[in-house]
Amino acid sequence: MSSSTTFSVTEPNVQPIATSGGQTKWYLFWVFLGCWLGGIFDGMDSSLMHIVLPDAVGELVGKSVGTAVTSQVASWVSTLFLLGWMLGGIIFGRLGDTLGRVKAMVFSILLYSLFTGLCGFAHSWQELAAYRFLTGVGIGGELVSIATFLSEVWPKKTKAIAIGCLLTSYQVGVFLAGGLNFLLHDWRQVFFVGALPALLVLFLRLFLKESPLWVATQEAHAHTELLVDESGDPIAPPTLWQTLQEKGQMRSIVVGSLAFTGLLVGYWASLAWIPMWIHSLENVPANAKSLATMVQGSVAILGCLMGGPLCDWLGRRWAIALGGIGCFGASAWLFLGHSGAFSPSVYWGSGVLGFFIGLLQSSLYIYLPELFETKIRATATGTCLNLGRLVTAIAVLFMGVVVLGLGGYGNAAFAFGFSYLVGSLAMIWAKETKHLNLTH
């Protein structure tokens, strides 16, 4: 028997929270609150740029350069943000497995808070793009950290519902981003407010302890380093690559990455292009872009809340498939059913799309951490959550060409909506995790 086989199955059988009574309930409350607040600011900071992008880039590039140049610069800024998000998810995922879930959360929040605030001081579009890249690194790391941490700490009986509720935080952040732009008409002031999450770091360090499951796994890993084989030579614990090859972990990464890529490409197109698409319609009310973003974010909260019950009732795979099909149908109704002059039904379409996006997003965040062992959970989950951002970043880079070739933002956003079906199809090859414990 190989050494990798010997030690890959020594996942410690640890209860997420060993205490009982009021202390456990209060600690779980603080855990959820800390992760939920982090998710709010993730959603807010990642959405700010979509709303203020025309104003920010227009001011930094200059009004005289024309719409084509402004759109191209905007695509470069968005692409760098997505690339930073991708790298952050992978890097902080690995840091979460090596340094701990809470430490990774703290570092990622500090990073994206600092550089969101610095966006307000940008004097050129290149400077803005650099700050957005580093903001993306922090945001990508935070989303991986909170999902992994809550998955390990929360009791299995209500874990799916808790994570579904956790994902409402991101959509609350999207809503707040629209509200900020509604109240603050200076794009620099919007970014200054986006730096507030730094205050959350103190809260996290005071109240949150490291995941007991992660701690036990680290102790088991340290113990294996002391073991020797029959000849007295040290037995090396399995490498990351060896662990990924065992128990179908690599297949899970492929399926998980495909499913989340489908969500990312479609979601980014709708989230980034809805404001510009609305702007291109006739007779658009002054605050239509902000209101549509707020409607999408607020209704997506309901979708997130439905994710947990549906995952427990239908199973993870069917909930994800349903969310993808719903996103595609809502995208078709919104972008193909509205053209020419602005109609108030745009708000309804944004809301329906937001609902299914929330459902799909929460279902995937419930599902992905359950696919992997504790020792690689953050790394593997971060990989699944962020490989698709490379595809999205490439698509955004050619946003101007795509929009021009397809005849407008609405047609382009609908075309990208087909990606939602990728996640639904990926579930054919996925394994169900509804009845599994995280100690599998």
- Report the number of distinct structural domains present in the chain: 1
Amino acid 413: pLDDT: 78
Parent domain of 197:
23-219+242-426
**The tokens 């996290």 sit on which residue?**
204
| CA atoms within 13 A of residue 374's CA, in its CB half-sphere | 30
Helices then strands, each counted (H, E), the chain: 18, 0
**pLDDT at residue 74, as a whole number:** 79
Asked whether residue 211 is domain-assigned, the answer is: yes
Report yes or no: 270 and 351 within 8 Å, Cβ to Cβ.
Answer: no
Taking 50 as the threshold, does the pLDDT of residue 18 lie above it? no
Q: Is 379 exposed, middle or buried (0-12, 13-18, 19+ CB in 10 A)?
A: buried
- Residue 164 in contact with residue 362, Cβ under 8 Å? yes
Which residue reads 């500090």 in tokens?
A: 110
Question: What is the pLDDT at residue 223?
Answer: 58
User: What is d(CA 60, CA 237) in angstroms, rounded to the nearest whole number?
Assistant: 53
Tens digits of residue pLDDT in 396-433: 677 667 777 777 777 777 888 888 998 899 898 888 88
Taking the C-alpha atoms of residue 320 and residue 366, their distance in angstroms, rounded to an integer, is: 10
User: Which contiguous run of DSSP H or E holds residue 66?
Assistant: none
Do 370 and 77 touch, CB atoms closer than 8 A? no
Considering the domain boundaries, does residue 51 fall inside one?
yes
Task: For residue 167, give the CATH number of its domain.
Answer: 1.20.1250.20
Query: What's the N-to-C CA distance of the chain in angstroms?
Result: 20
Question: What is the per-residue pLDDT across 249-307, written as a single tens digit (0 to 9) for each?
Answer: 788 888 888 998 888 888 877 766 777 777 777 777 777 767 777 788 788 889 989 99
- Asked whether residue 380 is domain-assigned, the answer is yes
CB-CB contact of 259 with 431 (8 Å): no
Beta bridge partners of 234: 228
Give the model's pLDDT for residue 377.
Answer: 82
The answer, yes or no, to whether residue 238 has pLDDT greater than 80, is no
Q: How confident is the model at residue 146 (pLDDT cuts 50, 70, 90)?
A: confident
Domain for residue 422, yes or no?
yes
Q: Does the pLDDT of residue 10 top 60, yes or no?
A: no
pLDDT over 60 at 13, yes or no? no
Q: Is residue 12 part of a domain?
A: no
User: To 10 degrees, the CA torsion angle through 361, 367, 373, 375?
Assistant: 20
With respect to residue 278, please indicate whether it lies within any of the assigned structural domains: yes
Instruction: Determine, yes or no, domain membership for 169.
Output: yes
Which pLDDT does position 228 carry in this prediction? 44
Token reading at 413: 């956003």
48 vs 194: CA distance, rounded Å: 8
* CA neighbor of 223 nearest in space, from 438, 440, 3, 10: 10
Q: What is the CA radius of gyration of the chain?
A: 22
Looking at residue 9, what is its pLDDT? 35
The answer to whether residue 98 sits within a structural domain is yes
Give the pLDDT mean for 181-205.
Answer: 79
Distance CA 61, CA 127 (A): 12
- The SS3 assignment for 283 reads coil
